[in-house]
Amino acid sequence: TIKQTLATLSKFTSGDIIKAFTGRMISRGSAISLLEKIGIKPEDADYIVATAEYKRTWAFTDQRISGIRNMYKKRMYDENETRDKLARLNLPSDQINVLMEQWLYEKKEELDATWTTAQTLNFLKKGIITSARARRELHLNGYDAEHIKVFFENLIWTKPTV
């Protein structure tokens, strides 16, 4: 048909339209309208766009999972917060468990270079690093909040005078 010939000559394909739709460059209505203009039946255009919507949703979920993974690996989220974020994506608990196991091993393999505990406390005492940075370094070294608090209290402790 003429429409198909024009679409071919302009090199404007249904794939281009769906790519623009999944990339959120055009709306659902625009995608259907454009598909119809290049000769696709309205019911087929609706089905194609509906399928693309599913794929777009799945891709968005994958992107969110990747974002959560990065935040966990960079220690911005702890395990509980990570599990909570994954659960909000309506992932089954067995999938969350598998992801957490995989990410734990990846996290251990990519341990950040840190200073020793003594170096960290020494740098803090000299004012070379901030207390926030010292807390982060001590956390990366595996210390919990209680231990970090004791380290900080020890730095300012002075022997009582008798």
Q: Tell me, yes or no, if the pTM score tops 0.75.
A: no
Mean pLDDT value of segment 15-19? 94
- Domain parsing of the chain, residue ranges: 2-109, 117-156
Measured torsion, CA atoms of residues 94, 96, 98, 102, in degrees rounded to the nearest 10: 180
pLDDT digits (tens, 9 = 90+) for 63-93: 999 999 999 988 889 999 999 999 999 999 9
Distance between the two ends of the chain, CA-based, in angstroms? 102
Residue 34 pLDDT: 95
- Give CA–CA dist 69/102, Å, rounded: 10
